[in-house]
């Protein structure tokens, strides 16, 4: 218990000298919380980590686990306020290179394209294929609208079948 308190105290800005006794440590932590000198992001990251481990057991989605982490931190440390900018952001990068959808081509007939897409979904997963088709649609929608509509139709077909 003392080690846990010491760890918490280190990440508070007022916790430069760690007291030796448990009572002094608890007293200093209370004072520090009142002074608004808390590194909220440290506690938030720690809470998110523990909730992500527990989420499978409790049946939470990732978004629920993160939202619960924020509410728990706000309850324990009411001083902490989070803005939209503080929320962890995940950058999504989708690589679409020539031949990344192996065997798929707009030159093929509709039935052949769909067979190939079905096999690709089994190999790479639904989300990856849908994202790649969406990227191809977005890149082609202004310059080659006919090709873009084919990509879009194929994407909608995959979503319809697997959802």
Mean pLDDT of successive 10-residue segments in the chain (163 residues)?
A: 56 56 69 60 79 82 82 75 59 75 91 94 90 92 94 94 87
Model pTM? 0.45
pLDDT at 85: 54
The per-residue DSSP string of the chain comes to -HHHHHHHHHTBTT-SS--SSHHHHHHHHHHHHHTT-B-HHHHHHHHHHHHHHHHHHHT--HHHHHHHHHHHHHHH-TT----GGGS----------TTSSTT--TTS-HHHHHHHHHHHHHHH-HHHHHHHHHHHHHHHTTT-HHHHHHHHHHHHHHHHHH-
Does residue 76 sit in the same domain as residue 125? Answer: no
pLDDT at 107: 92
Does residue 53 sit in the same domain as residue 118? Answer: no
What domain range is 15 assigned to? 2-86
Examine residue 103 and state whether it is found in any structural domain, yes or no. no
């Amino acid at each position: 218990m003392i080690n846990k308190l010491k760890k918490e105290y280190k990440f508070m800005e007022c916790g430069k000298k760690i007291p030796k006794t448990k009572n002094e440590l608890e007293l200093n932590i209370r004072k520090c919380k009142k002074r608004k000198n808390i590194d909220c992001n440290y506690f938030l990251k720690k809470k998110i980590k523990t909730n992500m481990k527990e989420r499978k057991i409790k049946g939470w989605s990732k978004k629920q686990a993160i939202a619960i982490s924020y509410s728990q931190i706000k309850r324990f440390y009411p001083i902490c306020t989070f803005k939209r900018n503080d929320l962890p952001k995940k950058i999504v990068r989708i690589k679409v290179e020539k031949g990344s959808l192996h065997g798929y081509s707009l030159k093929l007939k509709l039935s052949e394209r769909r067979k190939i897409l079905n096999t690709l979904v089994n190999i790479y997963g639904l989300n990856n294929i849908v994202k790649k088709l969406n990227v191809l649609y977005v890149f082609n929608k202004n310059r080659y609208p006919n090709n873009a509509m084919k990509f879009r139709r194929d994407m909608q077909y995959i979503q319809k079948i697997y959802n």
